[in-house]
Amino acid sequence: MIKIQYSLILSSVLVFFSACKEETAPKYDVEQEQDKKQKQVSEQFDFVLPQFISLAKSFQAAGLKYESGKTSDTKRAANYATQTAQLLNIGVYSTDLAYCALNGKSQDARNFFQVIQDLGNKSGLDVIFSDKELMQKFDQSISKQEDIETFIYEIQEKSESYMQDNNLRHMSLIQFAGAWIEGMYLGAENSQLTKSSDIAQALADQMFLLQNIIKGLESYPNEDANVDKITSKFKEIDETYRNFESVKVAGNNPNKNAPELSSSELGKLKSIIRSTRNWIVEAN
């Protein structure tokens, strides 16, 4: 009888430790996500956000030309001390990288890739960015625009796989928030922007991404004052935009009716985008 008791105690302890093995993850958010994963049921409504290079390509297709001095200064990268600031600015620099790569500014693109790699290593994404051969691969692709694009797509795919496999979607959403605001900033600040331009239309098209970005930021699993702050700034942009007369008239289905923003609405959008983007890049 005693032997049975001991073997039961021993097996209980062994099973307990085997079950707890995955719960020793270093961060609360990872544990929480793993718990969610074990439930293995998706929300009723979900979304897939585009790649950041697609944000830049859609502006390029709308006629956005390269203008120097608009991208974020790579020297600021050293100032980003929190994980949130690092992730947001990886997003900002990613759009700048795509913007430069698509416009044949390969040296600038290389500089942006360098800071993305550094920030990636600092912010816990070293699995993606610590590969020393990455820069070598980038240099091999630098002479041909199509090859750089392929390289960027490959990095994005690798990044997405890593984030999804490790339930780190909340981190990719913060990055995307940075990428989105930078794309909107580059579009809104472009000198070719007029109310009848295709760039204005591209801005309106990309505004439809904002609600999902907000949804994503709101589902961030940990308490983080910086995430709360950026969420409220993005909500402010959304609210401003939804109150535009042209947006109310167009309704909520961009497939049927896209809003044609007036000059005054474009000005207001430009101003709120600039202030939010500057808050993000100035190390908040």
Partner 1 sequence: MKTIKLVFFAVVAFLMLISATVADQANVLDNQLNALKQELKDLIKPARFEGSRVTYYKINKKPQFKNVEIFLLMESEYIFAFSGKVSSVPVHLRFYDSMDESERTLIYEVKNINDKNITVSSKDLNAAYRKKVPEVERLKRVFVEYEITKGSEKNEGVVMVIGNK
User: In sequence order, what are the residues at sequence separation of 6 or more whose Cβ sits closer than 8 angstroms to the Cβ of residue 87?
Assistant: 123, 171, 174, 175, 178
Helices 145-165 & 83-102, crossing angle to 10 degrees?
150
Separation of alpha carbons 231 and 213, rounded Å:
9
Residues with Cβ within 8 Å of 30's Cβ and at least 6 positions away in sequence, in order, are: 166, 167, 168
Which residue in 107, 110, 129 sits closest to 118, CA to CA?
A: 129
Q: Which is nearer to partner 1, 9 or 78 (CB)?
A: 9
146 binds partner 1 (CB under 8 A): no
Among 254, 260, 274, 283, binds partner 1 (CB under 8 A): 254
- The yes or no reply on residue 38 touching partner 1 (CB under 8 A) is yes
How many residues bind partner 1 (CB under 8 A)? The answer is: 49
Give the integer Cα–Cα distance in Å for 177 and 92. 8
Q: What angle do helix axes 198-207 and 169-188 make, rounded to 10 degrees?
A: 160
Positions 52 through 71 that interact with partner 1 (CB under 8 A): 54-55, 57-58, 61
The position carrying tokens 């900033």 is: 185
Using CB under 8 A, which residues numbered 90 to 119 contact partner 1?
Answer: none
Which residue of 46, 69, 75, 132 would you call a contact of partner 1, by CB under 8 A?
46
Q: Within positions 4 to 33, which residues make up the interface with partner 1, using CB under 8 A? A: 4-5, 8-9, 11-12, 15-16, 18-19, 22
The nearest distance, CB 280 to partner 1, in angstroms, is 21
State how far the Cα of 262 lies from the Cα of 265, in Å rounded to an integer.
Answer: 5
What is the footprint of partner 1 within residues 204-243 (CB under 8 A)? 205-206, 208-209, 212
Site membership for partner 1, residue 248 (CB under 8 A)? no
What residue ranges bind partner 1 (CB under 8 A)? 1, 4-5, 8-9, 11-12, 15-16, 18-19, 22, 37-38, 40-42, 44-51, 54-55, 57-58, 61, 149-150, 153, 156-157, 160, 164-165, 205-206, 208-209, 212, 252-256, 258
